[in-house]
Amino acid sequence: MKKANIVLLGAPGSGKGTQAHMLHEHYGFVHISTGDIFRDNIHNQTELGNRAKVYIDDGKLVPDEITVEMVKNRLSQEDCVEFGYILDGFPRTHVQAQALMLFAKIDWIINIDLPLDYLMMRLTNRRTCASCHAVYNLLSYNKTTCEECGGELVAREDDKPATVLNRLEVYKNSSEPIIAYYESVQTVHHVDGKRSPKEVFDSICAIIDQR
Give the full edge-to-edge strand order of the sheet including 126-129: 135-137, 126-129, 153-154
Instruction: Check 2, 16, 60, 195 and give the catalytic one.
Output: 16
Instruction: Check 2, 53, 72, 92 and give the catalytic one.
Output: 92
| Residue 89 to residue 100: CA distance in whole angstroms | 13
In the residue annotation, 127 being an active-site residue is answered as no
In the residue annotation, 126 being an active-site residue is answered as yes
Q: What's the half-sphere exposure (Cβ side, CA atoms, 13 Å) at 35?
A: 3
Residue 31 host element (H or E) = strand 30-33
In the residue annotation, 211 being an active-site residue is answered as no
Instruction: Check 2, 3, 51, 167 and give the catalytic one.
Output: 167
41 with 71: CB under 8 angstroms?
A: no
In the residue annotation, 39 being an active-site residue is answered as no
Instruction: Check 3, 53, 156, 194 and give the catalytic one.
Output: 156
Cis, peptide link before residue 197, omega less than 30° from 0: no
Active site positions, annotated: 16, 92, 126, 156, 167
